[in-house]
Amino acid sequence: MSTEENKALVNRFMDEVLNKKNLAVTDEIAVEDFVELDPLPGQGPGREGLKQILAVLFAAFPDQLWTLEEQAAEGEKVWSRFTWRGTHRGSSWASLPPAERSR
């Protein structure tokens, strides 16, 4: 894949999975034995672990929005700087009860 195709794939993940909360798209984007280099607390291995932790995150921050700030690519690698905002309204996150405010 070209660098532009790789960036488009990352952007699709951010848009369809993270912002639209469509976890089924993860099966189209991430391989089964996906390795998270910086896993979230409680994240299990592989694609299923990613989907499970994202479901927890979506439940804790139901209004979250991810915004791409910068992106660069070289070869097969894509670097993205993003911000995400959301109100902690749902389930607990990292042992913190809902605060009804942005975290």
Give me the pLDDT at residue 48, please.
Answer: 97
Query: Does 39 fall in a domain?
Result: yes
Average pLDDT of the chain? 92
Query: Does 81 fall in a domain?
Result: yes
In the chain, the number of structural domains is 1
3 state SS of 40: coil
Which pLDDT tens digit goes with each residue over 65-84?
A: 999 999 999 999 999 999 99
Query: Does 31 fall in a domain?
Result: yes
Query: Does 74 fall in a domain?
Result: yes
Query: Does 99 fall in a domain?
Result: no
Query: Does 49 fall in a domain?
Result: yes
Q: Rounded mean pLDDT of 48-65?
A: 94
Of all helices (H) and strands (E), which one includes residue 63? none
Q: Which two tokens stand for residue 28?
A: 């189209």
CA angle 45, 48, 52 (to 5 degrees): 100
Which pLDDT tens digit goes with each residue over 13-22?
A: 999 999 999 9
Q: Could you tell me the residue range of the domain that residue 14 belongs to?
A: 3-85
Which pLDDT tens digit goes with each residue over 58-70?
A: 999 999 999 999 9
Query: Does 47 fall in a domain?
Result: yes
Question: Does the pLDDT of residue 102 top 70, yes or no?
Answer: no
